[in-house]
Amino acid sequence: MSTPLKINKPLVSVEWLHENKSASNLVILDATLPKVGQQQSASNKIEGIENAFFFDIKNIFSDTTAPFPNTAVTPDVFEREVRKLGINHDDAIVIYDQHGVYSSPRAWWLFKAMGFENVAVLNGGLPEWKKPGYASEALLVYNGALGNFKSSYKPSALYDYKKVLEVLSDSNKLILDARSSDRFKGTSPEPREGLRSGHIPNSKNLPFTELIDDGKLLSQTELIQKFDNLIDKESEILFSCGSGITACILALGAEVAGYKNLAVYDGSWTEWGSLHQLPIELN
């Protein structure tokens, strides 16, 4: 019987995962979301890392009745659906996606928002896993016993627009927008129809693509440089993007860089840009 795995870092390498793949409490989740313009594949048809299960952000772990996409589900729903994947409170979870590092940080952040810390993102995802020839297979469909996972929700992890309004003029809190600079400045139209262009007042722009190189997150040293140029480590950072997905890439990068006071604006620009009573800035 192998020793239960304890993950003490937010990002792990494919070599680390391969070395620890036999741990008794390891759960591997595929949290792939299609990028804009792509179609979602049937989960049981996707090639994934061996022994991985599909973590369906779009249809299961987002509130499909909410007015904005990718809205986090309630803690009760999250707990129920995670238990259906057989996940227990003492498991160690590694999450990846098929793009490299794209949607897996969203699943990682949801687990952290629900009070679960023994979780990490696989740097480089499935493409990086396949480079050394590590085994892949069709994703498994879990049909075993329910797990005993317990949600312990942290409200400070996920903001709504009302909480964002409260911090607009707080100099100890930085709002970082993960969208492209053209969208941030309002010089390119939003991909979602009906959204205003621009950004949240007093926010700064750090496109998520600046933290990714060839599908992998930058090194800790490079990430420290990115964030230390913007804010000191004692301040709180609130991350926003288009719909709450790529903001979590910034959150992952900031945690790797050593920042602790982090939050994600769940509705992000899809919500902010839709609500005409909320202030915006251009350029």
pLDDT tens track, the chain, 283 positions: 568 999 999 999 999 999 999 999 999 999 999 876 566 655 556 799 999 999 999 999 999 999 999 999 999 999 999 999 999 999 999 999 999 999 999 999 999 999 999 999 999 999 999 999 999 999 988 999 999 999 999 999 999 999 999 999 898 899 999 999 999 999 999 988 889 999 999 999 999 999 999 999 999 999 999 999 888 888 899 999 999 999 999 999 999 999 999 999 999 999 999 999 999 999 8
Residues recognised as catalytic: 241
Q: Which domain holds residue 188?
A: 156-272
DSSP-based three-state secondary structure for 82: helix
Q: Are residues 251 and 164 in the same domain?
A: yes
Q: Are 281 and 200 contacting, i.e. CB atoms less than 8 angstroms apart?
A: yes
Q: Say how far apart CA 73 and CA 82 lie, in whole Å.
A: 12
Count of structural domains, the chain: 2
How far is it, in rounded angstroms, from Cα 238 to Cα 162?
Answer: 13
Residues 147 and 214 in one domain: no
Note whether 37 and 148 are same-domain residues.
Answer: yes
CATH number of the domain at 62, please: 3.40.250.10
* 47 and 131 belong to one structural domain: yes
176 CB neighbour count, 10 Å cutoff: 24
Asked if 23 and 86 sit in the same domain, the reply is: yes
Whether 86 and 181 map to the same domain: the answer is no
Alpha helices by DSSP H, 37-160: 75-84, 104-113, 125-130
Is the distance from CB of 122 to CB of 128 less than 8 angstroms?
yes
